Amino acid sequence: DQQVKQNSPSLSVQEGRISILNCDYTNSMFDYFLWYKKYPAEGPTFLISISSIKDKNEDGRFTVFLNKSAKHLSLHIVPSQPGDSAVYFCAAISRIYGGSQGNLIFGKGTKLSVKP
Amino acid sequence: DTGVSQDPRHKITKRGQNVTFRCDPISEHNRLYWYRQTLGQGPEFLTYFQNEAQLEKSRLLSDRFSAERPKGSFSTLEIQRTEQGDSAMYLCASSVSSYNSPLHFGNGTRLTVT
């Protein structure tokens, strides 16, 4: 049973436009959420995070929105650039695991393609 | 910051053989994690260490898998009597001991069991 779901395996957008990547979760105990980006033949790299006490966090071109009532979060990339083409993973953690990020639960990822 | 280093990058082995992977974390990070990723899936947690202590193991970690982190520095992950289902990317990550500290992943070891 997938606790973190990324229902879109792929997304294609034009350079300069907005990319919106979505993530749904089922475990109401999750209280910290992260997005990781992964290029081929590399490990995932941390992009941005959000605590459940917030509904928005922004870092440059990247903004994460959290809707706790809907158990939904989204990552917005504005403007999108060809270098953003990668697989994006949503991940979540619950404080019940004692504050360790060792038990991050990842979604299956969304492959973003930004066309010039 | 030289990043998390994993060795080897690729390993091809025959079913039934034992394999060992090594991970060197970022030097000031006291937490080290092992994850496994198969095609089309996100990374799945296997185990983690704080310094030399192995604090948590996933039920995915069968008794054929063993991980060590002697002296709280590098870590090894050994798989005994490999099976074809063990074919995956094995990712190592490290972090400092802070709740919100993100994991820094290495580039992984891709294991192929033939």
pLDDT single digits (tens) A58-87:
999 999 999 999 999 999 999 999 999 999
Amino acid identity of residue A115, one-letter, is: K
> Which whole number is the average pLDDT over A101-109?
84
Supply the pLDDT for residue B1.
54
Nearest C-alpha neighbor of A110 from the set A6, A3, A5: A6
- Residue B72 confidence class, pLDDT cut points 50, 70, 90: confident
Q: Tens digits of per-residue pLDDT, B23-64? A: 999 999 999 999 999 999 999 999 999 999 998 888 888 899
Instruction: Identify whether the C-beta of residue A96 lies closer than 8 Å to the C-beta of residue A29.
Output: yes
- Looking at the complex, report in whole angstroms how far the Cα of residue B11 sits from the nearest Cα belonging to chain A: 14
Say how far apart CA A104 and CA A101 lie, in whole Å.
5
For A109, nearest residue in chain B (alpha carbons): B42
**CB contacts, 8 Å: B108 with chain A:** 43
Average pLDDT over residues B68-94: 95
Instruction: Give the span between the Cα atoms of B90 and B107, in whole angstroms.
Output: 9
Give the integer Cα–Cα distance in Å for B86 and B72: 26
A105 chain-B contacts, CB cut-off 8 A: 45
pLDDT computed for residue B97 by the predictor: 79
